[in-house]
Amino acid sequence: MSRSIKRVAVIGSGVMGAGIAAHLANVGIRSDLLDIVPKSLTPEEEAKGLSLDKREVRNRLAEQGKNKLLKASPAPLYDPGRIDLITPGNLEDNLDRLKKADWIIEVVVESLEVKKEVLAKIETYRRPGSIVSSNTSGISITAMAEGRSEDFRRHFLGTHFFNPPRYMKLLEIIPHQETDPDVVRFMKDFAERILGKGVVLCKDTVNFIANRIGTYGLMVTVDEMLKGGYGVDEVDAVTGPPLGRPKSATFRTLDVVGLDTFVHVARNVYENVEDPKEKSIFHIPPFMEEMLSRGMLGSKTGQGFYKQVKQNGEKEILALDIESLSYRPRRKLAAPSLQAAKTGDRKERLRTLLYAKDRAGEIAWNVTKRTLLYAAEKVGEISEDLVSIDQAMKWGFGWELGPFELWEAIGFEKATRRMKEEGENLPDWIEEMLRSGIKGFYRTDREGIFQYLKGSYRKVEERPEFISLERLKEEGKEVKGNKSASLIDLGDGVLCLEFHSTGNALGSDIIQVARFALEETERNYEGLVIGNQGKNFSAGANVMMMLLEAQDENWDELDLLVREFQRFTMSLKYFPKPIVAAPFGMTLGGGYEVAAAGSLIQASAETYMGLVETGVGLIPAGGGTKELLIRFMERIPEGSKADLQPYVNQVFETIAFAKVSTSALEAKKLGYMRPTDTISIHPDHLLYDAKQKVLALAQKGYQPPQKRKIKVVGEPGYAVMKLGAYSMRQAGYISEHDQKIAEKLAFVLAGGRLPAGTEVEEEYLLDLEREAFLSLAGEPKTQARMQYMLSKGKPLRN
Ligand code: NAD
């Protein structure tokens, strides 16, 4: 049967229900968001003279859930305008809407009883054949399906999103025995292709995969902390980035999640597992019980493992003393390995920490050892394969490496022998690996990735949409490269220019490989993708290099640098073959200028794009100012006599205020992306999508854009923008230096002192960009801004 999901009903409009409805809206899917009818009026409703039978009151919960989406941070919606795709309602008056839904997702409180009641109601109203799922964190899907009709059971499964649904990549899909395999296949494909999620199929066991291993990891961390007499802050210093985990580490994460929520999830395992040894780990220690009863739940109650206080007008974060449950100043863990583990590649850093014989190394090793062993014991019970466990932990808990990847990274044999020496019981299959001299859990070759399962290596199923640049390089597909950039053959006649400098900052090294990329593409290939798989596409030009030149007053050098960059972006723009840029994450300043110069942008949905040069006291001078102006001019219909000024003013504001998009969709609204540029929802499909775009453009007989003159607003327009900057200064919104930068920017955007309506060449605007840039670079306040950005990582407003 051919299926599609056009309309969804989300039952429960709390944190997760509203978040899921928002993500559906992000990808253009309409939903009904339904919740219970309130039993009493709020004082505001009473004051308004409302009664319990009024729709406004009856829909209150869902309306509130929807409205909170506009205030939540980070933003659940790609664009606030998408909120209109969500229709609130209630579970008494609007149940008939369930008939229209292709997918009904239950997201109510975590209680089997309540969930079963809601599912029974859904059964009465749903259309046979429609999909029904539960967003439970760990309740048995089989138990929930009990008592429902056969059609319902066949179309019922678990779909466990992580919080927040827009940003967390993991979606656990949990079929029960009777779920139709076609429904599972369809939902997996839908979740990956349409929702952009990383799907892991789970067995219907308590807490599924990520919450089972993750909760275990947290419980053993608490246990090791108590045994070793560490402070919560000391544990966090080790269990965050040094172990390849998020900055919020262990206890700051718990504060965000809420201790009550965490305990609920841990108790679920405690109550549902048989093995007394496993049970004991999930037993909540007395100090946590005490924290619960005192309401020390974390951020939502203002105190948890940490507490923010104001002392002498300054904010300070205090840490909880576990013994006395009072707060004390934070302390640093004195352990040389924490410092030593900052250098080297990921493997080296992990090995330095985990094999160190100091307090950091000790707790890091004990926590890791126990978590790895638990994951190994659970293979077969919670998942038939290793990849699912690794992916669940990376995508659901933000670990850089899953347990088996980490085990291998620190040396499978060395780590396993140490575990044995320490008297640990190893699962039989791990003993077997050790005996047979198997070196690791994974093997990669030209045929694909293989995982070691049940005595042999088995191929891991991979989507063709996933391209790994790292793997291509290992396979010898790097055509050229230096320490900052590589040129990689993606196959089918398409090359990829990859940046891999620190922060992917742009400098001469990258331009050198880029030049070669253009020559090579012109000679032997169909086209080029500019993309990478680092943390961000590029945070811009190398500020350090520019600051040094400016401080040394090497104006000729700086002029040459800017000219070289301008020539580069122009050569991308007028290149005879298609160039598709694939930005994602931070795509700022020079990073944007490169992306904007290609034939087309294929952006990840999560792209934070902006011309932010004013933050370091400069203006975009690699063609960015000109390109944004051109994009706004393109909005004016051909031959129209429309006034140019309002368009130019928008460009002026966008650059002067260094506006950065919160999504690719917003980048289109801000004008950074053209309406014809396209978006990839799944982050791992980005390079593949960009490559397909190159091939499609090439096949259509790609022609570079024709050189066109640009009509400018000239001197009168310059005066308008200058006046705008002056008023902002007078009103105290901007500093004197901001005003100076704004005036330089206005001069470029106006096309200098020409009569209004003059048509100018692109090169003329580039010269103005460069002049403004150089004169600002000589300003002490601009240099102070650059310095501040380099040392503090945020803009200085001086
Ligand atoms: P929440 O408390 O924010 O929202 C629960 C919603 O259920 C509320 O809007 C409430 O009005 C509604 N509700 C309560 N009783 C109901 C009933 N009898 N009938 C219908 N609706 C009822 O909770 P949440 O955090 O959104 O969690 C919802 C589900 O998602 C739970 O199963 C939870 O375990 C799961 N989950 C939560 C997270 C998370 O981080 N919050 C993550 C993954 C999964």
What does the pLDDT look like over 408-460, one tens digit per residue?
A: 999 999 999 999 999 999 999 999 999 999 999 999 888 889 999 988 999 99
Single-letter residue type at 700: K
Q: What is the pTM of this model?
A: 0.94
| 138 CA closest ligand 1 atom index | 34
Please give the distance, rounded to the nearest whole angstrom, from the Cα atom of residue 135 to the centre of ligand 1: 9
Please give the distance, rounded to the nearest whole angstrom, from the Cα atom of residue 386 to the centre of ligand 1: 30
- Exposed, middle or buried, 14 (CB in 10 Å: 0-12/13-18/19+)? middle
| 136 CA closest ligand 1 atom index | 32
Q: Which runs of consecutive H residues, i.e. helices, occur in 131-258?
A: 141-145, 150-154, 181-193, 210-228, 232-239, 251-257
Q: Which residues contact 274 (CB under 8 A, 6 or more apart)?
A: none
The Cα–Cα gap between 575 and 597 comes to 10
Cβ of 18 closer than 6 Å to ligand 1, yes or no, is: no
Please give the distance, rounded to the nearest whole angstrom, from the Cα atom of residue 467 to the centre of ligand 1: 37
pLDDT of residue 486: 98
Q: What is the pLDDT of residues 736-754, one digit of tens each?
A: 999 999 999 999 999 999 9
pLDDT of residue 588: 97
Buried/exposed code over 502-512 (b: 16+ C-beta within 10 A; e: otherwise)? ebbbbbebbbe
- Exposed, middle or buried, 691 (CB in 10 Å: 0-12/13-18/19+)? buried
CA atoms within 13 A on the CB side of 535: 7
Let me know: does 489 contact 498? Beta carbons within 8 Å.
no
Please give the distance, rounded to the nearest whole angstrom, from the Cα atom of residue 680 to the centre of ligand 1: 30
pLDDT of residue 64: 97
Position 250 pLDDT exceeds 80: yes
Cβ of 137 closer than 6 Å to ligand 1, yes or no, is: yes
User: Which residue is it, tokens 């290609």?
Assistant: 598
Cβ of 547 closer than 6 Å to ligand 1, yes or no, is: no
Cβ of 87 closer than 6 Å to ligand 1, yes or no, is: no
Q: What is the pLDDT of residues 490-506, one digit of tens each?
A: 999 999 999 999 999 99
Q: What is the pLDDT of residues 255-312, one digit of tens each?
A: 999 999 999 999 999 999 999 999 999 999 999 999 999 999 999 999 999 999 998 8
Q: Which residues pair with 541 in a beta bridge?
A: 506
Let me know: does 139 contact 267? Beta carbons within 8 Å.
no
Q: Which two tokens stand for residue 611?
A: 């011309």
DSSP annotation string for 727-789: HHHHTTSS-HHHHHHHHHHHHHHHTSSPPTT-EE-HHHHHHHHHHHHHHHHT-HHHHHHHHHH
User: Which residue is it, tokens 């298609």?
Assistant: 578
Cβ of 135 closer than 6 Å to ligand 1, yes or no, is: yes
Nearest C-alpha neighbor of 774 from the set 554, 555, 552, 547: 555
The Cα–Cα gap between 133 and 186 comes to 13
Q: What is the best residue among 16, 20, 94 to mutate for testing ligand 1's pocket, by most ligand atoms within 8 Å of CB?
A: 16
Cβ of 15 closer than 6 Å to ligand 1, yes or no, is: yes
Residue nearest (by alpha carbon) to ligand 1 atom 4: 14
Tell me the CA distances in angstroms from 767 to 592, 700, 751, 757, one per residue in order: 19, 34, 10, 19
**CA-based max dimension of the chain:** 85
The Cα–Cα gap between 760 and 789 comes to 35
| Residues shown for the chain | 798
Q: Which residues contact 328 (CB under 8 A, 6 or more apart)?
A: 318, 319, 321
Cβ of 37 closer than 6 Å to ligand 1, yes or no, is: no
Position 2 pLDDT exceeds 90: no
| 16 CA closest ligand 1 atom index | 26
Cβ of 122 closer than 6 Å to ligand 1, yes or no, is: no
Single-letter residue type at 702: Y
Q: Which residues pair with 629 in a beta bridge?
A: none
Cβ of 108 closer than 6 Å to ligand 1, yes or no, is: yes
The Cα–Cα gap between 477 and 491 comes to 9
Portion of the chain with pLDDT greater than 90, in percent = 95
Position 251 pLDDT exceeds 90: yes
| 91 CA closest ligand 1 atom index | 20
**In which band, very low, low, confident or very high, does the pLDDT at 1 lie, cut at 50, 70 and 90?**
low
Please give the distance, rounded to the nearest whole angstrom, from the Cα atom of residue 79 to the centre of ligand 1: 24
| 264 CA closest ligand 1 atom index | 34
Average pLDDT, the chain: 96
Let me know: does 508 contact 518? Beta carbons within 8 Å.
no
Cβ of 16 closer than 6 Å to ligand 1, yes or no, is: yes
Position 627 pLDDT exceeds 70: yes
Cβ of 63 closer than 6 Å to ligand 1, yes or no, is: no
Query: Using only C-alpha atoms, what is the Rg of the chain?
Result: 29
pLDDT of residue 344: 87
Q: What is the best residue among 64, 93, 108 to mutate for testing ligand 1's pocket, by most ligand atoms within 8 Å of CB?
A: 108
Please give the distance, rounded to the nearest whole angstrom, from the Cα atom of residue 18 to the centre of ligand 1: 10
Please give the distance, rounded to the nearest whole angstrom, from the Cα atom of residue 134 to the centre of ligand 1: 11
Please give the distance, rounded to the nearest whole angstrom, from the Cα atom of residue 91 to the centre of ligand 1: 14
The Cα–Cα gap between 578 and 530 comes to 11
The Cα–Cα gap between 652 and 743 comes to 10
Cβ of 163 closer than 6 Å to ligand 1, yes or no, is: yes
Cβ of 165 closer than 6 Å to ligand 1, yes or no, is: no
Residue nearest (by alpha carbon) to ligand 1 atom 36: 137
Q: Which residues pair with 328 in a beta bridge?
A: 319
Position 92 pLDDT exceeds 90: yes
Cβ of 109 closer than 6 Å to ligand 1, yes or no, is: yes
The CA angle 768-773-774, to the nearest 5 degrees, is 100
Cβ of 90 closer than 6 Å to ligand 1, yes or no, is: no
Position 509 pLDDT exceeds 70: yes
